[in-house]
Amino acid sequence: HNEDTSSTYTTILLVASSALLVPSIMHFTAQSQQDLVLASNIIGFVLFGFYIVIFIFQTKTHTHFFKATARSRIFRYKRKLEEDEEEVEEPEAFERLSTPINFVIIFSLIAVIGIVAEVFANEGMLLVQTYNFPVGLAGLVIAIISVAPEIMTAITAAKNDQIQRVINIAMGASTVSIMLTVPVLLALSYSTAHPLTLDFNTLQVGALILTIILAWKTTDDGQTNYFEGTSHLFFFICYAIVAAFY
């Protein structure tokens, strides 16, 4: 895959995560709740401004950073020859639709996922409390439901050896989650008079930093394999075990 893509995304995630840690640092000092709310709202504005810059960078000025390189295309071509496939041209793994149709489909799926997640958040938490399931497990299920479209699309792309598309989906989704979702949630909390702060505990801060370091180390060379994917999976399992007993 294009190593400029992963390098850019890891830089973005590092900066965004550093911004998210500002309220957490303030939380460990003698700061009032009002100061934490104000700092969180300011960070939300900063992240949204950063997202606008990234959007222009990704779609206008430096689109080549997020496209497959000639090296990756040659690598895929050789792989297909080694597998003795008759068709050497890249197959269209995804049906190409017009932009308006894509927007309609995307927002329709988002609406369905939002409704299902909301239903599960209400009814599911009752089940969690009734049967004493770990709260983290419920949060994990909700997270999986929320990112299901990205997961399925990335798996389909990986099966078709389109690693560049996988990197764009996986790391791009993480970027949007921080850069766009957080400001929107903060804006909603402010408009509804339900203060939301971005203060995380020590375990969450450590997991955030270590995840970015692992993503950087496994994508900086422009190549990836199943061992690197397995390392991410085992890191997540270890974190889940610690979180369950934290």
Closest CA to 172 of 59, 95, 76: 59
| Cβ-Cβ contacts under 8 Å for 92 (sequence gap 6 or more) | none
Instruction: Please check whether residue 199 is in contact with residue 32, taking contact to mean a CB–CB distance below 8 angstroms.
Output: no
Q: Quick one: pLDDT at residue 10? A: 87
Q: Is the pLDDT of residue 50 over 70?
A: yes
CA distance 164 to 69: 9
CA distances from 104 to 109, 184, 220 (A): 9, 21, 35
| Domain regions of the chain by residue span | 3-91+160-245
CA distance 98 to 33: 48
Which DSSP category does 91 fall into? P
Q: Quick one: pLDDT at residue 77? A: 66
CA distance 94 to 97: 9
pLDDT in tens, 86-144: 554 555 555 667 778 878 888 888 788 778 767 776 776 677 777 777 666 666 776 77
> Residue range 34-62: average pLDDT?
88
Tell me the pLDDT band of 145, cut-offs 50, 70 and 90: confident
